Amino acid sequence: MAKVKIPRKSISLDMTAMSDMAFLLLTFFILTSQFKPEEPVVVDTPSSISDIPIPDSDIMTISIGKKGEVFFGVDAQPTRVKMLQAIGDRYGIAFTEAEQQKFSLLPSVGVPVAQLKQLLTMDGSERNKPGTQPGIPCDSAANELRDWIAYARYSHPKGLRVAIKGDRDANFSVAKTVIATLQDQNYNRINLITGAEARPKITE
C-alpha cells in the first residue's frame, strides 16, 4: 500500500514583539548607564575583599597618583560651578561663564589654583596628557586642598561623602597628609576605593 504523504506546513513566527522588546531594553540600558569620564591620571588601586559600595552621588573624590599627585573632584555639575566661584573669590581670580561651564564638565582637577585658567584653555587630550597636571598642593606651606574641600562643602549643603582613590605605588606620606587635611575639616568617615579581590577560602 502506498504511503500517504502528509504535506508539511511552514511555521511563521512574528518577531515584531521580540524586536520591540530588544529595542526597549537597549534604550533602558543607554539611558540608565553612567559613562565614566576620562580622568587626568590613571590610578592603579590596591585590591581588597571589601564589598561596601561607593555611593554614586553626593560624593567628593580625592585621587592620589603614583608620583604623589593629588586630584580633587565632586560629582555634581552645579556644585562644581559654585565651588569654582568660591575658589575664585578666595584667590582673587575672576572666571568667565565659559570657563565655569568648561570646569563643570571636568571630573577632577590637579593643578595649583594659579594654573586653573591655563588648564581651562586646553582641550581634553592635552589636559589629560601625563604630566600636564602636577597635582594640587597639600603641604603645610600651601595647602590648597584644604580650600577645595572647604568650598566643596560650602557649595553642597546637602552634604558630601568622601572617597580616596590612591595608587598602590603612591607614597603613604601623601595619603597621610590628605587624611589629616580631611580631618581638619571634620571629615572622619572616609571611603577607600579599591579593586575587587576574592575572599579567601577557609578550609577546615
| Per-domain boundaries in the chain | 56-196
Cell of 177: 597628609
Q: Kind of pairing, strands 70-74 and 59-64?
A: antiparallel
Q: Is residue 172 within 8 Å of 107, Cβ to Cβ? A: no
**pTM of this structure:** 0.75
The torsion of the CA quartet 162, 55, 154, 37, rounded to 10 degrees, works out to 90
Q: What is the reported pLDDT for 151?
A: 96
Residues of the chain with pLDDT under 50: 33, 35
Q: What is the reported pLDDT for 42?
A: 63
